[in-house]
Amino acid sequence: MRLLLVEDDPSLGQGIVDAFSLQGETMDWLTDGRLGLEALRITTFDLVVLDLGLPGLDGIQLLQQARARGIDTPVIILTARDQVEDRIRGLDAGADDYLIKPFDIAELNARIRALLRRRSGYTSAIISYGDILVDPASRQVTLNNEEISLNRREYSLLLEFLHHPGQVFTRDQLTEQLYGWQEGVESNTVEVHIHHLRKKLGSQFIKTIRGIGYRIEQTP
Amino acid sequence: MKSIKRYLLATLLIAATTVAAVVTYGSYLQTTKEVEELFDAELAQMARVLQSLLENQLKRAQITHLQQALKYQPFVTPKLYTEGNEATPFGHKYESKLAFQVWNQEGQELLGSDSNEVTLSFQLNTGYSNEHIGDYAWRTFMLKDRDLNIWIKVAQRGDVRDELTEEIVISNLLPLGMMVPLLGFLIWLTVSRGLAPLHRLSNQITRRNPEHLKPLNTSDSPEEIKPVVAAINGLMEKLADALERERRFTADAAHELRTPLAGVRIHAQNLTQRPDPQMTSQAAEHIIGGVDRMTHAVEQLLTLSRLEHQSDPEFSHQDLATVVRQETAAIAPLALEKQLELSLSLEPEDSHFPLLANLSGLQILCRNLIDNAIRYTPTGGKIEVQLRRDKQQVMLVVTDTGPGIAAADRQRVFARFQRLGQQLIQGSGLGLAIVKEIASQHGARIILDDNYADQTGLKVMVMFPEYTATAPR
């Protein structure tokens, strides 16, 4: 799962990035609206957490321009403005949800999960794929009702596949999803994680498309 | 005047009725006069007709014959008369109200109309006179025939005349009476139509509220209402501006307080997640920094609020040099921490800079200017505070080597919560707004300029009017 945070306040931004890193999620962070729009254009994110008062390009403008360019990445707005018309303005500009500062990190998490769930067409909070059940709220994964223990990278990778069944991911895409713009990632780390996932969830679970990448079947 | 419509309706109706009454009274007087003249002439004529008749008769016949002949039976069958049809083929209703009598020189009655047995008085003067006979007033005319030596008196009952006058006046009054309701209706209609634009205006105003303060439409307003509409529009524009400013201020204040709060909360929450030791100490630092930032924002907000609501700050004789020295000393540790070179210079040295000022205001102004300079000047920079005198003005100059402010932005920075998009430099965005407020309380001017002496930087000049013993504030 790849998240982008556009927040100009250094302290709040660092806090959110730290919180997600503690959960094992990668979050890219930008402090300028114009750079945020640029990043959305060239990189595919699963979700954007967007502050409204940004230098360079206001959050609302960023959102409008992104939507105008057909970028439909789910967006959660962070705002200090609690007036109804401000919220309406944000939602009208193309936001999917909003949170008023200050907020609970668990609530931000829950909203992100809900948006991703809606995006991938799951109506229930529990994701099921064949014998595999994933509860994103508790990060619990079971295979045939037996709990499977995954580390946070493996979990992220599994969720990425489950959110897009049938889609083929290249190794570079998966690396970026897992590590963001972080540097110095070993070139074969994705293979290692996939190897572990196959060992834990069955060897036929993730298919290799030779020379291209990996996928799971559209239907189990 | 509670209602223009009722007022116009009442006054116009009263005016119209008064005019009608005056006209009616005038026509009554005129009618009375004309009727009198007409009847008087008729009386005289009757007397002469009688005279000429008697002249002939008295020469040829006995007076007794004449008396006999004249004993006519007045026509009294009242049932025949109907209103408006007093003249019948048999006579007139008013016949009995006419009388005549003829006397000889000695006052002996020779002839008389017998109707109603009216006895006219015999006086030896000719012409018109008014008499009271029985219950009625009579108008009489006495004529003397010198050849026959007889007196002829013709009389008419006064109420005939009054009745006629009355009837003429009443017949004039009737259309006037009908005119009043018609006039009332027309006035009501006109006034209603005339006041319709007022109704439309009030409907337009009713639809306005603080969220919807669009100017009123003036295109269909009559000339008399246009200035009112223009005044209301002007007021609404000012109101909308003020509301918008307040809204923006609230939103900005919310942002200024909620963002560090959100930061503090999230770092505190991270601390509960057992992070590594490095992250723990960083989170604690962020929490302290966030609280400091909020404290600063709250202090600045309170200062600004106090300044704006201070109706009459206390002014006293102050030496700007003393205040600036104290404030510079107090803030110096901050500058040293950032490794900035902070200096204070007076021109001429060791002199006093007398001002009539509010002490705490002056302190806040100095502190904010130097504090701003420290915030925006990068490590290793230089801040100069200078005091000098220039043409009855005391000048406080703070120069830094920070990024400076572009000429185009120099007006904007005095607005509340303006921060020129440099979020990485922590500040409330209220400093210059506070400085401006205090300066205006002291009648001082603020000029922003480039720091020409160095590569980059801002020069803030505050010019206070100098205090002299004779000069009034």
Which one, of A7, A6, A8, A26, lies nearest residue A18 by Cα?
A26
B381-404 pLDDT tens trace: 999 999 998 888 899 999 999 888
Between chains, do B261 and A19 touch, taking CB under 8 Å as contact?
no
Tell me if the bond preceding B348 is cis, omega within 30° of 0.
Answer: yes
Choose the closest CB to A15 out of B254, B255, B266. B266
Size of interface A-B (CB pairs under 8 A): 88
Choose the closest CB to A101 out of B259, B269, B270. B259
CA separation for the pair B436, B296 (Å, rounded): 18
Q: Say whether residue B283 is in contact with chain A using an 8 A CB cutoff.
A: yes
- Backbone dihedral region for residue B393 (phi beyond 0: left; psi -120 to 50: alpha; all else: beta): beta
Q: Which B residues in the span 365-424 are in contact with A, Cβ-Cβ below 8 Å?
A: 421-424
Q: Which residues contact A207 (CB under 8 A, 6 or more apart)?
A: A214, A215, A216, A217
Q: Which two tokens stand for residue B211?
A: 């969220």
Between chains, do A11 and B289 touch, taking CB under 8 Å as contact?
yes
Q: Say whether residue B279 is in contact with chain A using an 8 A CB cutoff.
A: yes
- The pLDDT of A134-145, averaged and rounded, is 86
Going from the C-alpha of B229 to that of each of B90, B208, B212, B221, B420, the distances in angstroms are 77, 13, 16, 8, 39
Residue of A11, A16, A78 to mutate, testing the B interface (most B Cβ within 10 Å of its Cβ): A11
Residue B471's pLDDT is what?
A: 47
- The pLDDT of A17-41, averaged and rounded, is 90
The residue that leads in pLDDT, A121 or B121, is B121
Q: Return the SS3 of B316.
A: strand
CA separation for the pair B311, B325 (Å, rounded): 28
Judging contacts by C-beta atoms under 8 Å, the chain A residues touching residue B417 are: none
Q: What sign has the CA pseudo-torsion B277, B283, B285, B291?
A: negative
pLDDT above 90: percentage of residues in chain A: 26
- Tokens 């439909």, residue located: A72
Which one, of B69, B45, B47, lies nearest residue B57 by Cα?
B69
Between chains, do B260 and A12 touch, taking CB under 8 Å as contact?
yes
A73-94 pLDDT tens trace: 999 999 887 778 888 888 888 9
Residue B439's pLDDT is what?
A: 92
Residue A95's pLDDT is what?
A: 92
Residue of B243, B257, B266, B286 to mutate, testing the A interface (most A Cβ within 10 Å of its Cβ): B266
The residue that leads in pLDDT, B154 or B422, is B154
Between chains, do B422 and A103 touch, taking CB under 8 Å as contact?
no
A181 pLDDT above the threshold of 90 = no
- Characterize the bridge pairing of strands A75-79 and A47-51: parallel
In this structure, which amino acid lies at residue B235?
A: L
Q: Which two tokens stand for residue B27?
A: 């026509």
CA separation for the pair B415, B429 (Å, rounded): 9
Between chains, do A15 and B255 touch, taking CB under 8 Å as contact?
no
The residue that leads in pLDDT, A9 or A124, is A9
B152 pLDDT above the threshold of 50 = yes
pLDDT confidence bin for B75, thresholds 50/70/90: very low
| Secondary structure E strands in A80-161 | 97-100, 127-129, 132-135, 140-143, 146-148
Residue B214 is given by DSSP the state P
Between chains, do B260 and A105 touch, taking CB under 8 Å as contact?
no
B255 pLDDT above the threshold of 60 = yes
Q: Return the SS3 of B180.
A: helix
A interface toward B at CB cutoff 8 Å? 8-12, 14-16, 18-19, 22, 31, 53, 55-56, 78, 80-83, 86, 100-105
B301-316 pLDDT tens trace: 888 888 887 777 888 9
Choose the closest CB to B266 out of A16, A31, A80. A16
Mean pLDDT score across all residues of chain B? 82
Lowest mean pLDDT among B53-57, B67-71, B246-250, B449-453: B67-71
Residue B453 is given by DSSP the state S
Q: Which B residues in the span 289-308 are in contact with A, Cβ-Cβ below 8 Å?
A: 289-290, 293
CA B226 to chain centre: 13
Angle at B365 between CA B362 and CA B366, to 5 degrees: 90
Residue B92's pLDDT is what?
A: 66
Q: Return the SS3 of B313.
A: coil
Range picked from A119-128, B205-214, B224-233 for highest mean pLDDT: B224-233
Residue B90's pLDDT is what?
A: 63
CA separation for the pair B165, B310 (Å, rounded): 83
CA separation for the pair A107, B1 (Å, rounded): 63
pLDDT confidence bin for B39, thresholds 50/70/90: confident
- For residue A146, the distance in angstroms to the closest alpha carbon of chain B comes to 27
Between chains, do B264 and A102 touch, taking CB under 8 Å as contact?
yes
Going from the C-alpha of B329 to that of each of A133, A210, B322, B367, B371, the distances in angstroms are 66, 72, 11, 10, 12
Mean pLDDT score across all residues of chain A? 87
Asked whether this complex has an ipTM greater than 0.90, the answer is: no
B196 pLDDT above the threshold of 60 = yes
- For residue B295, the distance in angstroms to the closest alpha carbon of chain A comes to 15
pLDDT confidence bin for B408, thresholds 50/70/90: confident
Q: Say whether residue B282 is in contact with chain A using an 8 A CB cutoff.
A: yes
* Model confidence pTM above 0.90: no
Range picked from A24-28, A160-164, B338-342 for highest mean pLDDT: B338-342
Range picked from A200-204, B91-95, B174-178 for highest mean pLDDT: A200-204
Which H or E element spans position B362? helix B359-376
- The pLDDT of B131-143, averaged and rounded, is 84
Judging contacts by C-beta atoms under 8 Å, the chain B residues touching residue A83 are: 247, 251
Judging contacts by C-beta atoms under 8 Å, the chain A residues touching residue B255 are: 53, 80-81
- For residue A7, the distance in angstroms to the closest alpha carbon of chain B comes to 10
Judging contacts by C-beta atoms under 8 Å, the chain A residues touching residue B428 are: none
Between chains, do B266 and A10 touch, taking CB under 8 Å as contact?
no
Between chains, do A102 and B251 touch, taking CB under 8 Å as contact?
no
The residue that leads in pLDDT, A124 or A145, is A145
- For residue A80, the distance in angstroms to the closest alpha carbon of chain B comes to 5
Please give the residue of chain A at the shortest CA–CA distance from B211: A85
| Upper half-sphere CA count for residue B50 (Cβ side, 13 Å) | 29
Please give the residue of chain B at the shortest CA–CA distance from A108: B266
- Express the helix, strand and coil content of chain A in percent, nearest 5 each: 40, 20, 40
- 8 Å CB contact between A182 and A25: no
B239 pLDDT above the threshold of 80 = yes
